[in-house]
Amino acid sequence: MLVGLRRRTITSGKICGRAVPGLRMAVSGALTSFLLCATALAQTNCDEGNGLVDFTPPKDMTPQQVIDKFAAAEAKVKEARTHYTYSQDVLVQTLAGKTVTGEFHETTTVSYDEKGKRRENVILAEQNTLHGVALTADDMDDIRVFMPLVLTTEDLPRYNLIYGGKQHVDDLDTYMFHVEPKEEKNKRYFQGRIWVDSQDFQIVKVCGKSGPDKVQVKKHQQPDLRPMFVTYRQQVDGRYWFPAYTRSDDTLQFRAGAIHIREIVKYTNYKRVEPKATP
């Protein structure tokens, strides 16, 4: 995710050890409680809030039919999100033990124009004090594209999706898939797992990382490494599952030493924008 310098809908279930209502109905209310104890959690854990995996195939359909159905639903989610405005709060921190040694904090209002092009209005931009690392264009691309991952029918040819089983994620019944990128030169990708709601056939949880990492670099070039992250979605307007919260807590192994990175992205205040009336 970051280049080394010099030296080279939150979920339901238990939040900080306390039970909260289900994700489908109360994810927004759980976010605050989760954030208050974020520093107490371990590094990125894809299995947080997950039940045991049931390896039996989906009922009344094949895994490929599940993939085709959720990819079509995800296309609708992607299009629908362009008709909403929302707030995006990004906090990236470097740490030494439990001590924060630097941070990047930015809040923007995100909207889309009539052609679906993303627009960002910066509301807050604190001084960047990150220690030993620097954000790159790919880091911002992660925040816009890979952390709020959407996998549509158009995206499927770039990936191999392997059915992992049925799994209870907090109060939701889901289908879990392993996502492996196909080899494409000079193309960025996601690699990890997704959880698809068995009722709405939309992604409700993502865990993995973007790639590729740049480890073997030429002399005088800096390595570019990406951390693991987990993203939860929340249901908006009783219909669409939109990204709500991303957390990344990882240690990146640079040649000159390890750097502990923590990142929290909150997507809030979704408001539908009605199309302008034609004169």
Per-residue pLDDT of the chain (279 residues; tens, 9 = 90+): 454 443 223 333 333 333 333 344 334 333 333 333 433 344 889 999 999 999 999 999 999 999 999 999 999 999 999 999 999 999 999 999 999 999 999 999 999 998 899 999 999 999 999 998 889 899 999 999 999 999 999 999 999 999 999 999 989 999 999 999 998 888 999 999 999 999 999 999 999 999 998 875 666 677 788 999 999 999 999 999 999 999 999 998 887 788 999 999 999 999 999 766 555
Radius of gyration of the chain (CA): 19
- The tokens for 4 are 């080394």
CB < 8 Å & 24+ apart, contacts of 37-42: 38/247, 38/264, 39/98, 40/16, 41/247, 41/249, 42/249
Q: How far apart are CA 44 and CA 207, in angstroms?
A: 9
Burial call 30-65: b when 16+ CB within 10 Å, e when fewer? bbeebbeeeeeeeebebebbbeeeeeeeeeeeebee
> Exposed, middle or buried: residue 1 (CB in 10 Å: 0-12, 13-18, 19+)?
buried
Contacts of 207 (CB under 8 A, 6+ apart): 44, 46, 192, 193, 194, 228, 229, 230, 231
201-247 pLDDT per residue, tens:
999 999 999 999 887 566 667 778 899 999 999 999 999 999 999 99
Q: How far apart are CA 270 and CA 273, in angstroms?
A: 10
pLDDT at residue number 185: 82
pTM (two decimals)? 0.84
Q: How far apart are CA 200 and CA 258, in angstroms?
A: 41
pLDDT at residue number 37: 40
